[in-house]
């Protein structure tokens, strides 16, 4: 039997939080949370969820969120299993919360999320390899093949050398840790 996360609208979540009846748990990675989050949300990245200690009042409703609701939907069994009683999800995630005009804490100085940095870097390298392959020498197509092979390996193994390299860049060092809110 599958666990269910009951959907709540942004307005319903806000009302429950304002009444002190709910705790919002953001399951995005810490770099995403650092960039933007609902004020007062608790950061508990999905990547370390099972080892995390959720310190939530047993009487409070637990509402999970991510950016769009896709991650929470994909992990509903894992999430609901950590909650006594009913578990909830912010329908549409942080995007729906912001679209509803509700407050969002943003830090534009925080680095862009690592996954987006990887996508931009990989896409740029593939494009560069194709352009140079056509304009300079066919050997440059190898750059695109190398990046494609790296992305395939990252998907199969769950490790990404490009992400690890990007995390070492100076612009990503300034905000390496953010305390849970």
Active site amino acids: 66
Read off the tokens for 34: 């650092």
Question: Which among 42, 76, 73, 69 is positioned nearest to 57, based on CA atoms?
Answer: 42
Tell whether the torsion through CA atoms of 25, 31, 33 and 34 is positive or negative: positive
Tell whether the torsion through CA atoms of 136, 138, 140 and 144 is positive or negative: positive
Read off the tokens for 1: 């039997």
């Amino acid at each position: 039997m599958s666990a269910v996360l009951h959907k709540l609208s942004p307005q319903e979540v806000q009302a429950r939080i304002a009444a002190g009846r709910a705790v919002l748990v953001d399951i995005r990675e810490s770099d995403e949370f650092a960039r933007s989050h609902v004020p007062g949300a608790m950061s508990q990245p999905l990547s370390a969820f099972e080892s995390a200690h959720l310190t939530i009042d047993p009487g409070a409703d637990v509402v999970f969120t991510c950016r769009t609701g896709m991650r929470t939907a994909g992990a509903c069994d894992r999430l609901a299993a950590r909650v006594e009683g009913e578990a909830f999800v912010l329908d549409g995630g942080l995007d729906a919360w912001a679209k509803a005009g509700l407050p969002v804490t943003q830090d534009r100085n925080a680095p862009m999320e690592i996954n987006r940095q990887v996508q931009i870097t990989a896409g740029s390298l593939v494009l560069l390899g194709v352009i140079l392959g056509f304009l300079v020498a066919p050997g440059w197509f190898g750059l695109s093949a190398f990046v494609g092979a790296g992305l395939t390996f990252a998907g199969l193994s769950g490790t990404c050398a490009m992400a690890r390299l990007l995390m070492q860049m100076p612009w990503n060092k300034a905000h390496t840790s953010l305390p849970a809110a």
